[in-house]
Amino acid sequence: MVLNGKGAAPGAAVGGIFIYNEKFHIPSEAVVPSGEEQVHLDRYKLIKNQVLNELDEIKLSVQKIDPGKASIFEAHKEIADDIIINEEIPAKILKEKWAGDWAIYQVYETVMSVLRKTNDPLIAERAVDFDDVRARLLRLWYLKSDTNNDNSISDDSKKQNLSNLKEPVIIAAVDLKPSDTACLDREKVLAILTEQGGLTSHTAIIAKSYGIPAILGIKGLLENVKQGQLAAVDAQKGTVYLDPKDDVIEELIKKSDTFRNDKMNAEHFKLNEGCTLCGEKIEIGLNVSNNNDEEINAQEFTDFAGLFRTEFLFMGRNKLPAEEEQFNSYKKVLECFGKKPVVIRLLDIGGDKQLASLEQKKEDNPFLGNRGLRFCFSNPDIFKTQIRACLRASVYGNLWLMLPMVGSLDDIKKAKEIIKDVKNTLLNEGEKIGEYKFGIMIEIPSIALIIDKIIEEIDFASIGSNDLCQYLCAADRMNSSVENYYQQYHPAMFRIIKDAVNVFIKEGKSVSICGELGSDPAAIPVLIGLGMRKLSMGAASVASVKRTIAGLTVEKALKTAENVLALSTAGEIEEYLHERQ
Ligand code: PEP
Ligand code: MG
């Protein structure tokens, strides 16, 4: 059988499927069959203990990578062991004859609705954690009852955790949450397959940065795969072969070897400067998605940190990071980069990035809602705390502070006022503040089209092509059913980038690109031809981008850009660019 999706991170792999996080289904109201009360109760107890063990294991492995995030798993253990819940569930099963899964669902639901109604946001936000623990319990309940009639826990269910994979596998999931990727055992993940997510979703970005082949947006994936089933993945084509024939296995093992060798060849370029064949310097930036040592040590072969996605400090945990914790994180990256600029993007929450530590109002169109800078404005305490941490850290390096999701001059002025106030407060407190630059993301067309009107207010900008594309083409970057409309090669993309870049060139100010388009080997000649001289990307792309640049001349790039601007559709542009590669 063959399944298709979008190849989101290159490569190929052959291995066994590991189904992660099977679809959560809400149990129906059911009574326990007469005489089976004790069986359901024993099953609940067994599952609860399994969840406690699972949480312990995850906590231990996450502790090694990111101690801040490990605390969330301790909190989840406390919930699973909660005295009231563990009195209520047995009582519902034994006295009221509720089926075990229905009892788990309902008892947790009751606690969650009480929490949600409290006026204290710190208490209300805990509902998210109860929901998480309940999903874990029910997942084990169904896995076990699908596979066994006795009360043992199957091996499959024990393996349901991305940090303790026993052998190399191909992950199949609906989607991966950032908290899933936080504990991903990269050595054991051969490939990632998901039903949801597009080319610029966070799963795609993480897969690319870890160098793991990924195919996203595969319709009907979980209905068609089985745990442990052999699969061959061709991420270049976006194709998965289930129970592949020998010739397909052979071909894809070869492809995987070729991909690895090609990557190794590109590695030779890693330590070189980003420089064209004709000697034009192209600055290469690093996108920082968490600040672990492995990632930020990539500063050795980059010229700047073009995007520090600070939201990853805030996600996958049940408490907001305090000012001090943030200060230490920013300081660490700034110190590591020394004199090289570090672009710290203020909190870009909303859209597909939600905070477990904050109950956010459900929105019908979250990508058009209270996202990025708008979220910061509506949560001034969170915003100000982050600015304080950044400004205090400014003395340790070369800080460039950047606003996400800017739509107007009013946005910029309002944010500047807040930053000024925070700065004055800090100075009054006797804090030292170093020099820093102030800039914006260009990702909403309304700002891209008036750069000439706002350029005076900023020192620099970075083009967020991932969001620019979704807003320009009116196609949700996470929704695989509209992926054909999400066209990064749309002529409007190159036209809007060209016009914005021209204003920066004229004013002698810095502009870079930090979206995925900036590391796309086919698009790089166009970007350079349009005048872009700074590209920022995940560490895994640096070597191959430098190799692409080394094979270019500015003259060739100018010609490529001119030809692309003359074309009328994304399809024509794609064909033209791929023919040239
Ligand atoms: C972008 O939108 O291009 C970008 C770099 O930001 P993010 O992907 O984090 O939204
Ligand atoms: Mg963005």
The predicted pLDDT at position 97 comes to 94
Q: Is 514 part of the annotated catalytic residue set?
A: yes
- Over pLDDT 90: what percentage of the chain? 64
Structure tokens at 30: 């059911």
Distance CA 158, CA 479 (A): 31
Give the per-residue pLDDT at 28: 85
- Whether 515 is in the pocket of ligand 1, judged by its Cβ within 6 Å, is yes
User: Does the reported pTM lie above 0.95?
Assistant: no
Residue 150 confidence class, pLDDT cut points 50, 70, 90: very low
- Would you list the DSSP string of 242-300? ES--HHHHHHHHHHHHHHHHHHHHHHTTTTS--B-TT--B-EEEEEESS--HHHHGGGG
Q: What gap in Å lies between CA 469 and CA 475, rounded to an integer? A: 8
For ligand 1, whether the C-beta of 287 sits within 6 Å is no
Is the C-beta atom of 465 inside 6 A of ligand 1?
A: yes
User: Ligand 1: which of 405, 441, 463 to mutate, judged by most atoms within 8 Å of the beta carbon?
Assistant: 441
Distance 567 CA to ligand 1 centre (A): 26
Q: Compute, in angstroms, the gap from residue 436 CA to the centroid of ligand 1.
A: 22
Residue nearest to atom 1 of ligand 1 (CA): 464
Nearest CA to ligand 1 atom 3: 464
Buried b (16+ CB within 10 A) or exposed e, 79-104: bbebeebeebbbebbeeebbbbbbbb
Q: What does the pLDDT read at residue 300?
A: 93
Distances (CA, A) of 125 to 36, 95, 118, 319, 365: 36, 31, 10, 9, 22
Residue type, 312: F
Taking phi over 0 as left and psi of -120 to 50 as alpha, with beta for the rest, 185 belongs to beta
Average pLDDT in the 107-136 region? 80
How far, in Å, is the centroid of ligand 2 from the Cα of 351?
10
Q: Whose CA is nearest to atom 4 of ligand 1?
A: 464
Position with higher pLDDT, 118 vs 393: 393
CA 564 – ligand 2 centroid, Å = 24
Average pLDDT, integer, range 210-222: 90
Q: Give every CB contact of residue 37 below 8 A, 6+ residues apart in sequence.
A: 93, 94, 97
**Average confidence score pLDDT of the chain:** 89
- Active-site entry in 202, 336, 390, 490: 202
**Residue 188 burial (10 A CB sphere; 0-12, 13-18, 19+):** middle
Average pLDDT over residues 366-389: 96
pLDDT at residue 144 greater than cutoff 60: no
pLDDT-derived band of residue 65, with 50, 70 and 90 as boundaries? low
